[in-house]
Amino acid sequence: MSWSRRAILTLPALLAACGFAPVYGPSGVGRRLFGRIRTADPRTPDDFAFAGRIAEQLGPEESASYELGWQLRVAVVPQAITADEITTRYALNGTADYVLTDLASGRAVARGQVSSFTSYSTTGTTIATMAAEQDAHERLARMLADQVVTRLMAIDPATLP
């Protein structure tokens, strides 16, 4: 058995000794949050994509113990401008402020901000450009939701009621 193989085989024991627990393990955050988060009511198409991705990652609400509130902000920035001053590409820069609240106590369990970006081209037909813009908005909202879920999975399980 090579040293690297031994190290790989002993890694789980070393991590367990440090207090590491798998996210979806018996006492992990993933199990404690799955199906227990009610999302705020979406108001915009971006909100719907965001909330849908949260539900995909954390499961549909079965018995809510927490509420996830958020605010999405998206800025549209011209990226590529021709010599004729025609914009051929736009960037979408987005941020999501979020707060996870314990419904029983009203206490904020986690809060933070994530950000990401995407872009789309405007060189096709009007319909193609509109579809590309809509797709970029959906991709951005889903990326932001994925980042929020990652942050929620990093919560110390001891802080969850």
pTM of the model: 0.82
d(CA 122, CA 140): 17
pLDDT of residue 34: 86
pLDDT of residue 81: 86
| DSSP structural state of residue 92 | E
Least confident of 24-28, 71-75, 115-119: 24-28
d(CA 112, CA 89): 30
Phi first, then psi: give them for residue 20, nearest 5 degrees.
Answer: -70, 135
Is 40 a residue whose pLDDT tops 60? yes
d(CA 79, CA 159): 43
Token pair belonging to 145: 């939701």
pLDDT of residue 5: 66
The answer to whether 123 and 90 have CB atoms below 8 angstroms apart is no
Handedness of CA 53, 56, 62, 66 (dihedral sign): negative
d(CA 91, CA 161): 40
d(CA 20, CA 154): 11
Calculate helix-pair angle for 126-153, 45-58, nearest 10 degrees: 40
pLDDT of residue 60: 86
| DSSP structural state of residue 157 | G
**Tens digits of residue pLDDT in 110-158:** 999 999 999 999 998 999 999 999 999 999 999 999 999 999 988 877 6
pLDDT of residue 10: 63
* Most confident of the following: 15-19, 27-31, 84-88, 102-106: 102-106
**What is the rounded average pLDDT for all residues in the chain?**
86
Phi first, then psi: give them for residue 152, nearest 5 degrees.
Answer: -65, -35
Q: What percent of the chain has pLDDT over 90?
A: 60
